[in-house]
């Protein structure tokens, strides 16, 4: 079982490297990593389990965050009370995005950033992501609002980008009146 301590901190330079495309079939190690990532994300959103194991809550995780430079991400989104939708995308690519920009009003967070951050991270309100499922079948996901933000955040990780890189250092709240808060 993955624990918070197993997630790589921003000080580790591996988070700045670009992840490599994955070939199919997946290795048993990759399948186990994906299972562990999904398990962590699910457990981290269930208060009793998160408290028992001191898990920081998270909705998404990329392989690089556990030290694997491969292009796969997992997202566990609580779509309604106690019901989770799980997304596993291998070699994800954003193929279209809305012109409308949004940001998380309370600020984005990241399991790899263990400090307070302030500022607006501009994101597209809607994205279409293409990639492959765990068996190598092509998939397309259309995501809106919060889910769209998580996809953009995790795909950034695969390209060595952290959300703090997207905050304007000279004016962290530059887009407050331009983009929509969610």
Q: Tens digit of pLDDT for each residue in 10-66?
A: 999 999 999 999 999 999 999 999 999 999 999 999 999 999 999 999 999 999 999
pLDDT at 1 over 90: no
Going by pLDDT thresholds of 50, 70 and 90, the confidence category of residue 173 is very high
Q: Which DSSP category does 179 fall into?
A: S
Contact 101, 179 (CB under 8 A): yes
Cβ neighbours of residue 115 closer than 8 Å, sequence gap 6 or more:
none
Window from 28-32, 33-37, 77-81, 169-173 with minimum mean pLDDT: 77-81
- Domains in the chain: boundaries: 4-181
CATH 3.90.180.10 fits 4-181, yes or no: no
Token duo for residue 2 = 């993955």
Over residues 88-135, the pLDDT tens digits come to 999 999 999 999 999 999 999 999 999 999 999 999 999 999 999 999
Would you say residue 80 has pLDDT above 90? no
pLDDT bucket at 82, cuts 50 / 70 / 90:
confident
Task: State the pLDDT confidence band at 138, using cuts at 50, 70 and 90.
Answer: very high
- What is the C-alpha to C-alpha distance for residues 72 and 19, in angstroms, rounded to an integer? 9
- Judging by beta carbons within 10 Å of its beta carbon (0-12, 13-18, 19+), is residue 54 exposed, middle or buried? exposed
Nearest by Cα to 103 from 37, 175, 171: 175
Positions marked catalytic: 154
Report the distance separating Cα 31 and Cα 180, nearest Å.
37
First to last CA, the chain: 32
pLDDT score for 81? 85
Look up residue 131 and give its two tokens: 């990639």
Q: Residues, the chain, total?
A: 182
pLDDT of residue 79: 85
Question: What does the pLDDT average to over 160-171?
Answer: 96
């Amino acid at each position: 079982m993955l624990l918070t301590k197993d997630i790589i901190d921003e000080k580790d330079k591996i988070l700045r490297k670009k992840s490599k495309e994955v070939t199919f079939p997946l290795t048993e190690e990759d399948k186990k990593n994906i299972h562990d990532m999904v398990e962590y994300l699910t457990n981290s959103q269930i208060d009793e389990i998160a408290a028992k194991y001191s898990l920081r809550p998270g909705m998404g995780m990329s392989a690089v965050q556990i030290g694997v430079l491969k292009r796969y991400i997992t997202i566990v989104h609580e779509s309604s009370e106690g019901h989770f939708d799980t997304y596993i995308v291998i070699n994800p690519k954003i193929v279209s995005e809305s012109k409308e920009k949004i940001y998380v009003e309370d600020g984005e967070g990241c399991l790899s950033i263990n400090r307070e951050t302030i500022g607006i991270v501009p994101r597209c309100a809607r994205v279409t992501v293409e990639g492959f499922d765990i068996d190598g079948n092509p998939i397309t996901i259309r995501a809106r609002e919060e889910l769209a933000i998580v996809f953009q955040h995790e795909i950034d990780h695969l390209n060595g980008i952290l959300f703090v890189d997207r905050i304007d250092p000279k004016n962290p709240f530059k887009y407050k009146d331009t983009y929509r808060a969610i």
